[in-house]
Amino acid sequence: MKKEAQNRPLAGLSQKLADFTASFSLEHAPTNVLDNAKVAILDCLGVALLAISEEMGKILLRFALTNLSPGPCTVWGSELVALPRDAALINGTLAHGLDYDDRGHASTYTLASSMAVSESCNASGARLLESFIAGREVRICLDGLFPERSSGIGPGARGWHANGILGSIASACAATKILGLNRQQTLAAIGLAAGSCGALTRDGGTMAKPFRVGHAAATGVTCALLAKEGFTSDVAAVEGPYGLLDALGVIQPDVLESSVNNIGVDYHVQTHGVRVKRFASCTATHAALEAMLRLVQKEPIPPLEVDSIECDLRPYSLLRLRPERGLEGRFSMPFCLATALIYRRLNPEDFTDERIRERLIKNVMERTQHVPGSKVLVVNLKHGKKITEPIRPAKDLTNWEEVFGKFNRCVSKVLPESKRSALTDLVIHLEEIPSIRRLAKALSLASS
């Protein structure tokens, strides 16, 4: 028989998360925690607005028009308004729709849930920022649950994906913060979220992956609203016997325990910053992709002269070795390398069905070979020449100018320049805004 919860290494984990969430305030956080959180928010809003004009965004808007009831919350980049749970669903899905949000994806559901509840309550910008940071820190402190999939350890190696598993808990914590729930109510919301989660690694390269993010945001909002009304749950649903951790089969509780014990002492958004992506594809593609871009800058390569490309194709995380659709290309190393080789770039608009079907792209993809564990990108030419480039850690966008540049590129087709400037200014001064509805108005296309 399993040990009782109080004798287990992670006893009280749910309570620690609830205590941190209920007690956290901006006054406790160093200035750069707020600054980095704003970077994450601006980047997340930018990539969500870009997604609204893509195929998935258009489908979501059709779904919203047909199925959602009007409410007080803005559907970003549209004229629509919805109830809080529905807005969290749509906006969270948009935020992860292009896999262009910051690495780890913690900003997506946390911002979508925070914004939805903030707008419905007419909360201040400071409350939104407080909620976003609290939810994001809860999510990151649980990262130890998901070691690298390629290690064969943990739930990720068995097919679970962190977004939908941990996102519901983080979103619930963020929503409870806006609602001003006490520790016991927050604990109830965490318990409800712990059993209301799910996401599969298999989803990568499909619309189901961002949907899990939207679902996590909506679930978190639902759990917080139920807890506000007095709905209860098990107080150790995460760590207790037959709870979430047992169901996931976690085998290294010491790693997780260390992270949770430091929550509120060390802030991840301070110590690690925000890892803002340069490319709208799965993180696992970026290091080799950057190697290819360096290579073609040094020596342009005629695609028809390529005999083969050798690279670790990262099949544990990149499931789409032979993609058939543009969105699958985001999870395909062969496609990303082929596009970079031929066009000497990889932009968000490159992930289209038309590009996937290009004869030259398909030809190069077919010549891309998997070399497990390789730290080098190799391009072999037909006349015998071999060109190599070391694969280095991927680079992130690291300063405000780079992030602003990405944001403006993302929203240029969706928002007029006046709204882009207003939105940027509102995020920079977020803690000074008396009503978050000013920010929501800048995200809306509805006429004033």
Find the helix or strand (DSSP H, E) in which 380 lies.
Answer: strand 376-381
- Domain spanning 5-277+401-443, CATH class: mainly alpha
| The two three-digit tokens of residue 47, written as one number | 């990539």
| CA distances (Å), origin 172, targets 108, 194, 306 | 13, 10, 51
Closest CA to 135 of 261, 21, 218, 269: 21
Find the helix or strand (DSSP H, E) in which 176 lies.
Answer: helix 162-179
- Between strands 306-311 and 368-370, the pairing is parallel
Rounded distance, CA 367 to CA 285, Å? 17
Q: Specify the pLDDT at position 251.
A: 58
| The two three-digit tokens of residue 187, written as one number | 């604990």
Rounded distance, CA 403 to CA 396, Å? 10
Cα Rg, the chain, nearest whole Å? 22
pTM score > 0.85 for this model? yes
393: which residues sit within 8 A by CB, 6+ positions away? 287
| The two three-digit tokens of residue 219, written as one number | 């679930």
**285-326 confidence digits (pLDDT tens):** 999 999 999 999 998 899 999 999 999 999 878 889 999 999
Give SS3 for 369. Answer: strand
Q: Specify the pLDDT at position 250.
A: 65
Q: Is-contact 306 380, C-beta < 8 A?
A: yes
In the chain, which segments carry CATH 1.10.4100.10? 5-277+401-443
Q: Is-contact 155 249, C-beta < 8 A?
A: yes
In the chain, which segments carry CATH 3.30.1330.120? 283-390
Rounded distance, CA 131 to CA 87, Å? 17
Q: Specify the pLDDT at position 162.
A: 87
How far is the first Cα of the chain from the last one, in angstroms, to the nearest whole number?
63
Q: Is-contact 387 295, C-beta < 8 A?
A: yes
Q: Specify the pLDDT at position 4.
A: 46
Residue 128 CB: number of other CB atoms within 10 A? 26
* Averaged confidence pLDDT in the chain: 92
Which DSSP symbol is given to 379? E
417: which residues sit within 8 A by CB, 6+ positions away? none
Closest CA to 68 of 201, 269, 218, 282: 218
Q: Residues of the chain whose pLDDT is less than 70?
A: 1-9, 148-152, 250-253, 255, 448
Phi then psi for 217, rounded to 5 degrees? -65, -45
Burial of 12 (0-12, 13-18, 19+ CB in 10 A): middle
353: which residues sit within 8 A by CB, 6+ positions away? 325, 326
Helix 31-51 / helix 84-95 crossing angle, nearest 10 deg: 90
- Domain spanning 283-390, CATH class: alpha beta
Closest CA to 185 of 172, 194, 198: 172
**146-168 confidence digits (pLDDT tens):** 776 666 677 877 888 888 899 99
The angle at the Cα of 273, spanning 267 to 276, to the nearest 5 degrees, equals 140
Q: Is-contact 48 94, C-beta < 8 A?
A: yes
The angle at the Cα of 50, spanning 46 to 54, to the nearest 5 degrees, equals 160
For 1-108, list the strands marked E by DSSP.
73-74, 81-82
Q: Is-contact 73 84, C-beta < 8 A?
A: yes
212: which residues sit within 8 A by CB, 6+ positions away? 161, 163, 164, 167, 198, 199, 200, 203
